Amino acid sequence: MTLLLFIEQFLNGMQFGVFLFLISAGLTLVLGIMNVVNLAHGSLYMIGAYFASTFYGLTGSLIVSLVLMIPVMLLVGIVIELVVLRTLYDRDHMDQVLATFGLILFFNELVRIIWGVEAQPLTLPMWLSGNVEILPDAPYPVYRLVVIGVGMAVAAGLFWMITKTRMGMLIRAGASNRPMVGALGVNIRFLYTMVFGLGAVFAGLAGLMAAPLQSVESGIGEDMLIFAFVVIVIGGIGSIRGALVASIVIGIFETVGRSILPVLMLEVVDSETAQTAGPALASMLVYILMAVILFFKPQGLFPARTG
Amino acid sequence: MLSKLKLSILIGSFLILAALPMITEAIDEPFYIDLMARVMIFSIAAMSLDFILGYGAMISFGHALYLGLGTYAVGIMAHYEVTNGWLQLLVCISGTAFIAFILGLISLRTSGIYFIMITFALAQMFYFLGISLEAYGGDDGLPIDTRSEFFSFFDLNDAWNMYYLILGTMTVTAIVLWKIINSRFGMVVRGSHSNDARMQAIGFPTMKYRLAAFVIAGVVCGLAGFLLGNLTEFLTPEYMHWFRSGELMIMVMVGGMGTLFGPLFGAFAYLMVEDFLANFTEYWQFYFGPMLIILVLFAKQGLWGMLPGKEDMSDE
């Protein structure tokens, strides 16, 4: 029983890790390449989830929603980059924090104005709502497995793009020496806009996949943003590999810790202490992990090689 | 030194604040005492943030944590019927100092974007801890039944006493922080802001200085929380939320970063604008967000910075 619970929570952790990866992948590229703190990255996740609920309501198909979603999120990302982010590249971090904080306020209210204050419903289609037996007598939701699969596919695609394609080469070059890449005749501004748009698509994809699993409401992006920050701090700014490893680790730690820690504590202390301290400790677990890793590796696990 | 204009604005504002209870009584609007008491508490918090942010270039995005810790110090002790103000103050100061010290040790190992993200995440950790502490109300919070007791002749339940305690704390804090900034210690912190490598090369262990500044800022903000807990008679993790930290940063920016007295006015301006917009529309953040972006892009020097008479680094 305990083993089954552990496996189930482990998979849930993987699935949460996939969401974290999709969000932090874009964020870490923006931080690493453009050296911009973008608090509003969580808003892209939220916007993605809202669009998903609307598209799904209109078309009734998750696949069609996904296809509609990609160009829309790309456009949203490009507009944000052109209107606000672009003016912040030469500013200091304080300005970037405050301006993107302003963006968060704007988007959180904007979705309330457009979609109303109630949470948006999105129920899974039949073919995704079933269970599958991963082990004998251990049913697990198909949808969560699909999420893990999609996330892994995106991660593989992103690695391929970064290491094998011309655009990936330019992204890496831009991260290590921006002026030089510009001097060699590459339109670095256009590259930035594209990277930001790509990050928006990933965040939107996470929002779409998360929409059936959580209530879609204003402010959901910021909860994910905090985790994404932890992921990037642990993984190392600008490192896709670090983001992937840290996302999965954090996802599993967070999910498994929350369910296992109170049980484990029962073994050591009496039930009353475990009931009070268990949830409190579980909520701090991820941050304690971050502090410990940071203490030994201040640059994160996979510091990106920048010039 | 401050320019004559700035000095007269400061003294003028102080006199107005000191006379405010009499004025509000004369026009029979006691509501304004509470409002200004609140503004002054956030002024203290914003000033403490500016101390590390403006002078030490430590962009802490989790400063509201200490505001929350201060209210928890008052609230938890009052919950156990320890209402002695001196004892509460002692716990508040040593508690915030201890936590600021530990968090400073962790976060000051990094700089730049890392520092922003780590202070942000660590503050959120305490926010989630507060939510999971069901014994102290969880996310609903807990009423604080009794305000701190200092002297038998100085009852904090009296609105005027509370107000003058806050005004006094703000004034003393402003003077003390001003002295610190212009002391040798402050010079080292500011020097490390301009060029940390050079300061280290001269032989200053800048990490220790920065850590000390971080702790001082945490304690001062904890004091603001102590007052806030007493004023609102309520303990809630909401004060530790990152949104509050963002608000403190806005107050610093609006007032003028790196001008110790600017945030006093920044807090006033921000809370007034928030109050005005919130009365005017339910979706006030929809208008405030773009306003903030425009302010950041075009009016970065802040209110205090717009006044003539630069506070030059070389001033003594």
* pLDDT for B193: 86
Phi-psi region of A158 (alpha: psi -120 to 50; beta: other; left: phi over 0): alpha
DSSP A57-114: HHH--HHHHHHHHHHHHHHHHHHHHHHTGGGGTTS-HHHHHHHHHHHHHHHHHHHHHH
Quote the number of domains for chain A.
Answer: 1
Q: Report which of A100, A108, A113 is spatially closest to residue A229, judged by C-alpha positions.
A: A100
* pLDDT for B316: 35
Banded model confidence at residue B39, pLDDT cuts 50, 70, 90:
very high
Residue A234 inside a domain? The answer is no
Banded model confidence at residue B311, pLDDT cuts 50, 70, 90:
low
Task: From residue A239, give the alpha-carbon distance in Å to each of A31, A246, A303, B27, B130.
Answer: 10, 10, 7, 62, 33
* pLDDT for B315: 41
Specify the pairing of strand A131-135 against strand A138-141. antiparallel
* Best residue of B293, B294, B298, B301 to probe chain A, by most A CBs closer than 10 Å: B293
Residue A291 inside a domain? The answer is no
Mean confidence (pLDDT) of chain B? 88
**Which residues, 6+ apart, have CB-to-CB distance to A251 below 8 Å?**
A13, A14, A15, A16, A17, A18, A19, A20
Angle at B271 between CA B270 and CA B275, to 5 degrees: 120
Residue B290 inside a domain? The answer is no
- State yes or no: pLDDT of B111 exceeds 50: yes
Q: How far is A20 from chain B (nearest CA, A)?
A: 15
Residue A187 inside a domain? The answer is yes
Residue B17 inside a domain? The answer is no
* Assigned token pair, A183: 């001097």
Is B250 in Cβ contact with A98 (below 8 Å)?
yes
Residue A289 inside a domain? The answer is no
d(CA A198, CA A158): 10
Among A102, A222, A279, beta carbon nearest to B292: A102
Residues of A with CB under 8 A from a CB of B: 31, 35, 37, 84, 87, 91, 93-95, 97-99, 101-110, 112-113, 222, 226, 229-230, 232-233, 237, 276, 279-280, 282-284, 287-288, 290-291, 294-295, 298
First to last CA, chain B: 6
The answer to whether B225 and B69 are in contact (CB under 8 A) is yes
H or E stretch including B258? none
Helix (H, G, I), strand (E, B) or coil at A226: helix
Helix (H, G, I), strand (E, B) or coil at A252: helix
Banded model confidence at residue B45, pLDDT cuts 50, 70, 90:
very high
The answer to whether A13 and A251 are in contact (CB under 8 A) is yes
Among A255-269, B127-141, B261-275, B278-292, the least confident range: A255-269
For A8-41, the pLDDT digits (tens) are 888 999 999 999 999 999 898 888 878 888 899 9
For B73-91, the pLDDT digits (tens) are 999 998 888 888 899 999 9
d(CA A194, CA A179): 18
Residue A226 inside a domain? The answer is no
Mean confidence (pLDDT) of chain A? 86
Partners of residue B291 in chain A, C-beta under 8 Å? 102
Residue B121 inside a domain? The answer is yes
- In this prediction, the answer to ipTM > 0.85 reads yes
**Which residues, 6+ apart, have CB-to-CB distance to B21 below 8 Å?**
B33, B159, B160, B163, B164
Task: From residue A305, give the alpha-carbon distance in Å to each of A93, A175, B111.
Answer: 21, 8, 17
Phi-psi region of B309 (alpha: psi -120 to 50; beta: other; left: phi over 0): left
Write phi, then psi, for A185 (nearest 5 degrees).
95, 15
Is B129 in Cβ contact with A290 (below 8 Å)?
no
Specify the pairing of strand A138-141 against strand B142-143. unpaired
d(CA A220, CA A208): 13
Is A99 in Cβ contact with B297 (below 8 Å)?
yes
Q: How far is B11 from chain A (nearest CA, A)?
A: 30
Banded model confidence at residue B309, pLDDT cuts 50, 70, 90:
low
Query: For residue A181, what are the domain limits?
Result: 10-217
d(CA B63, CA B57): 14
Residue A145 inside a domain? The answer is yes
For A181-195, the pLDDT digits (tens) are 888 888 888 888 988
Among A31, A87, A230, beta carbon nearest to B297: A87
* Best residue of A82, A88, A97 to probe chain B, by most B CBs closer than 10 Å: A97
* Assigned token pair, A122: 């999105």
Q: What value does the mean pLDDT take over residues B221-242?
A: 92
Cβ contacts of B178-181, under 8 Å, gap ≥ 24? B178/B260, B178/B261, B180/B51, B180/B216, B181/B51, B181/B55, B181/B260
Q: How far is A87 from chain B (nearest CA, A)?
A: 8
Count Cβ–Cβ pairs < 8 Å, chain A vs chain B.
120
Closest-CA residue of chain B to A226: B121
Residue A139, Cα to own-chain centre: how many angstroms? Answer: 27
Residues of B with CB under 8 A from a CB of A: 53, 59, 61, 106, 109-110, 112-114, 116-118, 120-122, 124-125, 128-129, 131-135, 242, 246, 249-250, 253, 257, 283-286, 288-293, 296-297, 300
For B174-188, the pLDDT digits (tens) are 999 999 999 999 999
Helix (H, G, I), strand (E, B) or coil at B151: strand
* pLDDT for B245: 94
* pLDDT for A219: 85
Residue B10 inside a domain? The answer is no
Residue B92 inside a domain? The answer is yes
Q: How far is A181 from chain B (nearest CA, A)?
A: 23
Output Rg (C-alpha) for chain A, integer angstroms. 20
Q: How far is B289 from chain A (nearest CA, A)?
A: 4
Residue A276 inside a domain? The answer is no
Closest-CA residue of chain A to B124: A226
Angle at B115 between CA B289 and CA B127, to 5 degrees: 65
Banded model confidence at residue B1, pLDDT cuts 50, 70, 90:
low
Is B112 in Cβ contact with A226 (below 8 Å)?
no
d(CA A132, CA A67): 26
Output Rg (C-alpha) for chain B, integer angstroms. 19
CB atoms under 10 Å from CB of B208, counted, come to 11
Query: For residue B221, what are the domain limits?
Result: 41-282
Residue A15 inside a domain? The answer is yes
For A256-285, the pLDDT digits (tens) are 888 877 777 777 777 777 777 777 788 788
Q: Which residues of chain A have pLDDT under 50?
A: 306-307
Residue B129 inside a domain? The answer is yes
Quote the number of domains for chain B.
Answer: 1
Partners of residue A277 in chain B, C-beta under 8 Å? none
Specify the pairing of strand A131-135 against strand B142-143. unpaired
For B134-173, the pLDDT digits (tens) are 788 888 888 888 888 888 777 888 888 899 999 999 999 9
Cβ contacts of B89-96, under 8 Å, gap ≥ 24? B89/B148, B89/B226, B92/B222, B92/B223, B92/B225, B92/B226, B93/B219, B93/B222, B93/B223, B95/B69, B95/B222, B96/B66, B96/B69, B96/B70, B96/B218, B96/B219, B96/B221, B96/B222, B96/B225
Q: Which amino acid is at B219?
A: V
* pLDDT for A212: 86
Is A284 in Cβ contact with B125 (below 8 Å)?
yes
